[in-house]
Chains A and B, each alone.
Chain A
Amino acid sequence: EAGVAQSPRYKIIEKRQSVAFWCNPISGHATLYWYQQILGQGPKLLIQFQNNGVVDDSQLPKDRFSAERLKGVDSTLKIQPAKLEDSAVYLCASSLAGGETQYFGPGTRLLVL
């Protein structure tokens, strides 16, 4: 069974530029999560989708971050414009609807200069 796929794996941009990350969850997983992980910390949930609907985006900085999951399968997370403090690893995870266990992709490491 294929795991969660993410791309790109690494990205370096300058502040005020925009960037987008892509995620394809495990087949059949209705719930998709985007996390931000800063070095030395646990993952911080940015947004959670159930199929193509948002169920939790309380910690998403909506002035610069946006995410969509239009067809209820893959998802895109965008940052525009990026700030230095956005440098982090962006993790995508998926789970069965109501499932307790989340499965993670390899992450995208973002560096904002």
Chain B
Amino acid sequence: DQQVKQNSPSLSVQEGRISILNCDYTNSMFDYFLWYKKYPAEGPTFLISISSIKDKNEDGRFTVFLNKSAKHLSLHIVPSQPGDSAVYFCAASRYNAGNNRKLIWGLGTSLAVNP
């Protein structure tokens, strides 16, 4: 039961253009969403997040949009740079039974930014 889905395993864009990575979720109990970036042989690095009470959060070239009614979020990277080439994971957070937060992860989207 994949509660967080990243339906595009890979994406290729030209340097300078916009990269749009998508994520869908099924559990309405999720109240916080995060994007992580992962380079080979490294751990995931936190990129940007958004609370369910917002519909947009921006940090430099990175913007995350949340559509709660559609249970959909997206990460926009503008402009894309070759150094952005990595695997991007969407993760959704909720409280578990013990009132502790738990992250549910998507399978990741591999982004390639071509010079």
Please list the residues of chain A having a beta carbon within 8 angstroms of any beta carbon in chain B.
4, 6, 31, 40-45, 48, 50, 55-56, 91, 93, 95, 98-107, 109
Is there contact, CB below 8 Å, between B96 and A56? yes
Is there contact, CB below 8 Å, between B46 and A101? yes
**Which residue on A lies nearest to B4, using beta carbons?**
A42
Please list the residues of chain B having a beta carbon within 8 angstroms of any beta carbon in chain A.
4, 32, 34, 36, 41-46, 49, 89, 91, 93, 96, 98, 100-103, 105-108
Chain A residue contacts of B42, Cβ below 8 A: 106-107
Q: Can you report 27 residue pairs joining A to B where beta carbons are below 8 Å apart?
A: A31-B100, A41-B107, A42-B89, A42-B107, A43-B89, A43-B103, A45-B102, A48-B100, A50-B100, A56-B102, A98-B100, A98-B101, A99-B101, A100-B49, A101-B46, A101-B49, A103-B46, A104-B36, A104-B43, A104-B44, A104-B45, A104-B46, A106-B42, A107-B41, A107-B42, A107-B43, A109-B41
Chain B residue contacts of A104, Cβ below 8 A: 36, 43-46
Interchain CB contact (< 8 A) of A100 among B34, B36, B41, B44: B34
Chain A residue contacts of B44, Cβ below 8 A: 43, 91, 104
Chain A residue contacts of B107, Cβ below 8 A: 40-42
**Which residue on A lies nearest to B96, using beta carbons?**
A56
**Alpha-carbon distance between A31 and B108 when the two chains are bound, in angstroms:** 24
Is there contact, CB below 8 Å, between B100 and A56? yes
**Which residue on A lies nearest to B89, using beta carbons?**
A42
**Alpha-carbon distance between A11 and B46 when the two chains are bound, in angstroms:** 26
Is there contact, CB below 8 Å, between A100 and B89? no
Interchain CB contact (< 8 A) of B34 among A40, A50, A101, A109: A101
Closest Cβ of chain B to A3, distance in Å, is 9
Closest Cβ of chain B to A38, distance in Å, is 11
**Alpha-carbon distance between A85 and B17 when the two chains are bound, in angstroms:** 40
**Alpha-carbon distance between A93 and B91 when the two chains are bound, in angstroms:** 14
**Which residue on B lies nearest to A98, using beta carbons?**
B101
Is there contact, CB below 8 Å, between B101 and A42? no
